[in-house]
Amino acid sequence: MGELQRLASLGIPDGAGIRSTVWKLLLAYLPRDKALWSSELAKKRSQYKNFKDDLLKNPSEVTREMEESTSSQNGDETREGKGLLSRSEIPVDEHPLSLGKTSVWNQFFQDTEIIEQIDRDVKRTHPDMHFFSGDSASAKANQDALKNILIIYAKLNPGIRYVQGMNEILAPLYYVFKNDPNEDFVINAEADTFFCFVELLSGIRDNFCKQLDNSVVGIRSTISRMSQLLKEHDEELWRHLELTTKVNPQFYAFRWITLLLTQEFNFADILHIWDTLLSDPEGPQETLLRVCCAMLILVRRRLLAGDFTANLKLLQSYPSTNIGHLLYVANKLRSHSHS
């Protein structure tokens, strides 16, 4: 595994579905023992199918199933044998207009807000790519898959539910798995992506927790660790950015870190950066901070010459760069770090 992580961190070849398989290994979705792959995949995919069956229903279906199970228990076939309850028999809690806390409808209306948010965000995901966007049947199907995954994640994780930007973290995984030459992986891309998304998010979920913003593990603390790293490696640049031009790292690093750099580079480059992020045995965060720091160092001449406005503009729309070189510089920051 260590050898695989080392090779992957240098960039995974684009062809032959290699990245799709390696990412699944790096995210511990595929077991290390290849003999277990098919049974493990079958188990997970059937589990995901159950999640879909259970969690993507609307309350009418839930209520109807409750009714069907009670009417079949009573053995009475009411109303032309369809098992429909007459109006008066619907339990008051399950009437759509009853917003009792326990009502499945109450939950449904709460969910609807989240689902509408997910829907809006998924439609905005990589609008420049035919894979995600446009009127083709395949783009629509891909959007539906992203929506299903995010809705199911939100329902299974009530502490976080859905936070804007999760769609951006989901997109590269789904894209890679859906473009695998292996037909079986393509058909099951949605299920496989779901579990890999859960795993990836578990390593960075604290950045998405509003309650944790100011805590040791929350996003502010992560940003100040990035700032600290820059200070260790290039104090002159750190001083100019934060003290002289007063560019608060929150203004640019918040997006870099929470969205794993998906907004800063073109898609092919994102995949290459992710090869490196996902192959860090400590989880993506440490490598991510080094990459962010390297991004600053690569444009240090321009930053040192710039004022607040110029620097903020530069960092909010980062110039295109040689990704291999960026990752090389980031890796150099690993060797003589004081941690």
Considering the domain architecture, whether residues 246 and 106 belong to the same structural domain is answered as no
Q: Are residues 188 and 228 in the same domain?
A: no
pLDDT given at position 86: 52
Residues 284, 192 within the same domain: no
Could you give the CA distance from residue 8 to residue 39 in angstroms, rounded to a whole number? Answer: 25
Which pLDDT does position 78 carry in this prediction?
45
Predicted confidence band of residue 339 (pLDDT cuts 50, 70, 90): very low
3-state secondary structure of 65: helix
Report the CATH number that the domain containing residue 315 is assigned in CATH: 1.10.472.80
For 307, which DSSP code?
Answer: -
Res 76 pLDDT > 60:
no
Span 122-133, average pLDDT: 95
Q: How many domains does the chain have?
A: 2
Short-list 85, 109, 94, CA closest to 62: 94
- Average pLDDT rounded to a whole number, residues 257-279: 95
Please check whether residue 84 lies inside any domain of the structure.
no
Does residue 80 lie in a domain region? no
> Is residue 274 pLDDT above 70, yes or no?
yes
pLDDT at 219: 84
Question: What's the pLDDT score for residue 111?
Answer: 80
User: Which of residues 203, 226, 253 is at a domain's end?
Assistant: 203
- Give the mean pLDDT of 22-33: 96
User: For 232-239, what is the mean pLDDT?
Assistant: 97
Burial grade of 62 (CB within 10 A; 0-12, 13-18, 19 or more): middle
Range of lowest pLDDT (23-27, 229-233, 331-335): 331-335
**Termini Cα distance of the chain:** 24
What letter represents residue 137's amino acid? A
State the average pLDDT over residues 138-155: 96
The answer to whether residue 284 scores a pLDDT higher than 50 is: yes
pLDDT top residue among 80 and 8 = 8
334 pLDDT higher than 60? yes
Q: How far apart are CA 219 and CA 209, in angstroms?
A: 8
* Beta carbons within 8 Å of 75's beta carbon, 6+ residues apart: none
Shared domain for 265 and 303, answered yes or no, is yes
Is the pLDDT higher at 58 or at 277?
277
- Does 229 reside within a domain? yes
Region for 283 from its dihedrals, namely left if φ exceeds 0, alpha if ψ lies in -120 to 50, beta otherwise: left
Q: Which residue in 49, 60, 142 sits closest to 105, CA to CA? A: 60
Domain containing 188 equals: 1-56+102-203
pLDDT tens-digit readout, 184-215: 999 999 999 999 999 999 878 766 665 555 55
Query: Closest Cα to residue 193, out of 215, 207, 177?
Result: 177
Please tell me the predicted confidence (pLDDT) of residue 259: 93
Mean pLDDT of 214-225: 76
- Tell me what the mean pLDDT of segment 213-236 comes to: 84
pLDDT at position 336 is 57
Clarify whether residues 219 and 284 are in a common domain. yes
Return d(Cα 148, Cα 118) in angstroms, integer.
Answer: 9
What average pLDDT does the segment 14-37 reach? 95
Measured between alpha carbons, how far is 105 from 110 in angstroms, rounded to an integer? 9
Q: What is the DSSP letter of 241?
A: I
Q: What is the pLDDT of residue 159?
A: 81
| Final residue in a domain of this structure, among 203, 225, 251 | 203
Average pLDDT, the chain: 87
Lowest mean pLDDT among 77-81, 208-212, 279-283, 300-304: 77-81
The whole-angstrom separation of Cα 312 and Cα 308 is 6
- Provide the pLDDT for residue 79: 44
Q: Is the pLDDT of residue 282 over 90?
A: no
In the chain, the percentage of residues whose pLDDT exceeds 90 is 68
Average pLDDT of span 229-245: 96
